[in-house]
Amino acid sequence: MAAMPQDTPRTRAHSQQVRWLFTLLYLGGLRIAEVGGNTMGQFFGFLRATRYR
Protein backbone atom coordinates (compact mmCIF):
# COMPACT_ATOMS: atom_id res chain seq x y z
CA MET A 1 0.00 0.00 0.00
CA ALA A 2 2.86 2.35 0.72
CA ALA A 3 4.10 1.88 -2.86
CA MET A 4 0.79 2.95 -4.42
CA PRO A 5 1.01 6.14 -6.47
CA GLN A 6 -0.17 9.32 -4.78
CA ASP A 7 0.48 11.82 -7.56
CA THR A 8 -3.07 13.03 -8.09
CA PRO A 9 -6.04 13.53 -5.76
CA ARG A 10 -7.74 10.51 -7.36
CA THR A 11 -4.82 8.12 -6.79
CA ARG A 12 -4.39 9.50 -3.25
CA ALA A 13 -8.08 8.82 -2.54
CA HIS A 14 -7.80 5.30 -3.97
CA SER A 15 -4.79 4.61 -1.75
CA GLN A 16 -6.74 5.78 1.31
CA GLN A 17 -9.71 3.58 0.35
CA VAL A 18 -7.46 0.52 0.04
CA ARG A 19 -5.84 1.27 3.39
CA TRP A 20 -9.29 1.66 5.02
CA LEU A 21 -10.51 -1.63 3.52
CA PHE A 22 -7.48 -3.58 4.69
CA THR A 23 -7.80 -2.06 8.17
CA LEU A 24 -11.46 -3.06 8.28
CA LEU A 25 -10.70 -6.63 7.23
CA TYR A 26 -7.83 -6.90 9.71
CA LEU A 27 -9.76 -5.54 12.66
CA GLY A 28 -12.82 -7.59 11.74
CA GLY A 29 -10.77 -10.79 11.70
CA LEU A 30 -12.14 -11.82 8.31
CA ARG A 31 -10.29 -14.39 6.25
CA ILE A 32 -9.84 -14.11 2.48
CA ALA A 33 -12.17 -17.05 1.86
CA GLU A 34 -14.91 -15.42 3.94
CA VAL A 35 -14.65 -12.12 2.12
CA GLY A 36 -14.24 -13.58 -1.37
CA GLY A 37 -16.92 -16.22 -1.02
CA ASN A 38 -19.75 -13.94 0.11
CA THR A 39 -21.78 -11.10 -1.32
CA MET A 40 -22.52 -7.88 0.55
CA GLY A 41 -26.07 -9.11 1.18
CA GLN A 42 -24.73 -12.20 2.92
CA PHE A 43 -22.64 -10.08 5.28
CA PHE A 44 -25.68 -8.01 6.24
CA GLY A 45 -27.77 -11.17 6.56
CA PHE A 46 -25.19 -12.52 8.99
CA LEU A 47 -25.37 -9.32 11.03
CA ARG A 48 -29.17 -9.51 11.22
CA ALA A 49 -29.05 -13.18 12.21
CA THR A 50 -26.53 -12.64 15.01
CA ARG A 51 -28.08 -9.45 16.38
CA TYR A 52 -31.10 -11.19 17.93
CA ARG A 53 -29.48 -14.17 19.60
pLDDT, residue 53, reads 54
Hey, CA dihedral for 25, 22, 44, 42, is it positive or negative?
A: negative
22 and 33 Cβ atoms separated by less than 8 Å? no
1 and 15 Cβ atoms separated by less than 8 Å? yes
The amino acid at residue 49 is A
pLDDT, residue 50, reads 65
pLDDT, residue 22, reads 84
pLDDT tens track for 1-53: 778 888 898 888 888 888 888 887 788 777 777 777 777 677 666 666 666 55
22 and 4 Cβ atoms separated by less than 8 Å? no
pLDDT, residue 3, reads 82
pLDDT, residue 19, reads 85
pLDDT, residue 37, reads 77
